[in-house]
């Protein structure tokens, strides 16, 4: 059980916590984050940037056009799903390395 306003590391049996200022649902502590491969971290960072760019563009186009086309909406949603998939991969890698797999 964590204290109010704190979030626990998502790796099982890790007791590390951090302050939850950003409203995040999950977090990986520094020790376990170091176990995630550089390639996966880089892919996740690039996917997050692509997601932010896609949503920023869709917001701008929504205001300019008065709505989004289906392809614009699909592009933004696909970027968000890619980012979530890579976060799950980071969690899996951190958990597997922590358990010695």
Per-residue pLDDT tens over the stretch 63-96: 777 777 788 788 888 988 999 999 999 999 999 9
HSE-up (13 A, CA, CB side) for residue 87? 14
Whether the per-residue pLDDT at 29 is higher than 90: the answer is yes
pTM of the full predicted structure? 0.80
User: In the beta sheet, which residues pair with residue 19?
Assistant: 6
So what's the pLDDT on residue 1?
A: 60
Q: How far apart are CA 82 and CA 6, in angstroms?
A: 27
**Overall average pLDDT of the 25-52 stretch:** 93
Mean pLDDT throughout 11-19? 91
Distance from first CA to last CA of the chain, Å, rounded?
26
pLDDT value at 41 more than 90: yes
């Amino acid at each position: 059980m964590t204290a109010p306003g704190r979030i626990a590391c998502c790796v099982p049996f890790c007791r590390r916590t951090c302050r939850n200022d950003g409203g995040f649902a999950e977090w990986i502590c520094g020790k376990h984050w170091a176990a995630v491969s550089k390639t996966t971290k880089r892919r996740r960072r690039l996917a997050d940037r692509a997601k932010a760019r896609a949503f920023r563009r869709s917001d701008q186009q929504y205001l300019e056009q008065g709505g989004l086309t289906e392809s614009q909406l699909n592009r933004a949603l696909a970027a968000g799903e890619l980012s979530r998939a890579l976060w799950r991969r980071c969690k899996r890698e951190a958990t597997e390395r922590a358990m010695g797999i």
